[in-house]
Amino acid sequence: MRDAYIVTSIRTPGCKRNKGAFKDTRPEDLLSFILTEGVEKTKNMEKKDVEDIMIGCSFPEAEQGLNIGRIASQIAGFPVDVTGATVNRFCASGLEAIAQAALRVMAGWSDIVIGGGLESMTYVPMGGNLPRPHPEYTQKLADLYASMGITAENVAHRYNVSRESQDEFAYQSQMKAAEAKSKNLYKEIVPTPAARYVEQEDGTYKKETFLQDFDDGIREGTTLEGLANLNPVFAAGGTVTAGNASQMTDGAAATVIMSEDEVKALGLKPIAKFKSYTTVGCKPDEMGIGPKLAIPKLMKLAAMDLKDVGLFEINEAFASQALYCINELGIDKQNVNIHGGAIALGHPLGCTGAKLCATLLNNMQERGVKYGVESMCIGGGMGAAALFELCE
């Protein structure tokens, strides 16, 4: 198989659901913008050179429904013969889209493909607008439909992850993110046009556009005392709170992937190779343990040892599950989510896998790390993990 080279990987800021900078920005606009930026930031490449676009989205309905991968690319001005698809693997949708884009290149089916992700949790709420679980199987397989918060409580309870350790983990996520923001370390972020409606003197509203260039969910003033005072939100006497769980967020991300021939033809210096990807299933009621299972499987596929990996992005869906996976795998916390994770930066569901790819590659470049791994748990009981190799 051919190598798949990543030449550009970028994201919008992540902004708080309903209260953040993107609350009035339609998801099609977020995605069409970041797709255009992906092309414009890739030297010598034009939209007509892209063959296919794979977009992850966890709840592809309403404003981000139909086939958002096709619709947004047409809004963005890609030629009509550039195709698009929408991919759904819940929390790993964005990474799945990148993996499928890379596979097209590796198999020789395409030479230039964009993989990305999108989620507006403002426009389409968690669970979708009209969830309709199967009436008989909700009795037989109730855990498939369980609240993700309950699965986080299950992990904390079954594997003895204390409230104190969860709050400490959450605090560190916020502090790392606050420092990275203050030092302008999120080089993967592209300032993104956002809409807002401003009331006029006559009582009407005028649509205005402004540029948003930072993640607006970071809580720089977080303290351990403040976290300790928060009540559990999913179970009486539980340990999972709004402070040690990921934020619901709006955002989009895009990664441009090419064959070696195209990299050379365009005179580009690639960032990294997409080396390997895997998924694994686990019990739905403890879906958070997914990375603990997926990362070793990835290492076996790649014939590598975990100690060869220099940086990790492990999605912080909840502190309980992320902390459990990190501890069980024996990973040095200093190499995980070095600029904070979803507790501070948000988890825009179908976008997260693509967002973390951009973040991981930026961090690998920043530190000169050869191998990086991205992993996350997935609603319904799965884990996913991908391996990236920095190019010289």
Cβ atoms of residues 358 and 11 within 8 Å: yes
Confidence of residue 140 (pLDDT cuts 50, 70, 90): confident
The whole-number average pLDDT for the span 148-177 is 98
Tell me the pLDDT tens digit for each residue of 95-111. 999 999 999 999 999 99
Mean pLDDT for the stretch of residues 137-164:
94
- Which pTM value belongs to this model? 0.97
What is the average pLDDT across 189-196?
A: 98
The torsion defined by the Cα of 230, 235, 239 and 242, in degrees rounded to 10, comes to: -40
Q: Which residue has the higher pLDDT, 135 or 121?
A: 121
Contact, 152 vs 321, CB < 8 A? yes
Q: Would residue 134 show up in a list of annotated catalytic residues for this protein?
A: no
Amino acid 139: pLDDT? 86
Write down the pLDDT at residue 250: 98
Is 339 annotated in the active site? no
Active site residue 325: no
Catalytic position from the list 15, 57, 282, 347: 347
> Tell me: the pLDDT tens digits for 250-264?
999 999 999 999 999
pLDDT recorded at residue 392: 82
Query: According to the model, what pLDDT value does residue 21 have?
Result: 98
pLDDT tens digits, one per residue of 287-334: 999 999 999 999 999 999 999 999 999 999 999 999 999 999 999 999
The active-site residue, picked from 15, 282, 325, 377, is 377
DSSP collapsed to 3 states, the chain: CCCCEEEEEEECCCEECCCCCCCCCCHHHHHHHHHHHHHHCCCCCCHHHCCEEEEECCCCCHHHCCCHHHHHHHHCCCCCCCEEEEECCHHHHHHHHHHHHHHHHHCCCCCEEEEEEEEECCCCCCCCCCCCCCCCHHHHCHHHHCCHHHHHHHHHHHCCCCHHHHHHHHHHHHHHHHHHHHCCCCCCECCEEEEEEEECCCCCEEEEEEEECCCCCCCCCCCHHHHHCCCECCCCCCCCECCCECCCEEEEEEEEEECHHHHHHCCCCCCEEEEEEEEEECCHHHHHHHHHHHHHHHHHHHCCCHHHCCEEEECCCEHHHHHHHHHHHCCCHHHECCCCCHHHHCCCHHHHHHHHHHHHHHHHHHHCCCEEEEEEEECCCEEEEEEEEECC
**pLDDT tens digit sequence for 331-390:** 999 999 999 999 999 999 999 999 999 999 999 999 999 999 999 999 999 999 999 999
- What pLDDT score does 231 carry? 98
| Mean pLDDT within 207-235 | 98
Mean pLDDT of the chain: 97
Phi/psi class of residue 6: alpha, beta or left (left: φ > 0; alpha: ψ in -120 to 50)? beta
Average pLDDT for 79-92: 98
Q: Is the pLDDT at 249 greater than 90, yes or no?
A: yes
Q: Percentage of the chain surpassing pLDDT 70? A: 100
Q: What is the pLDDT of residue 116?
A: 98
Which member of 15, 91, 351, 357 is catalytic?
Answer: 91
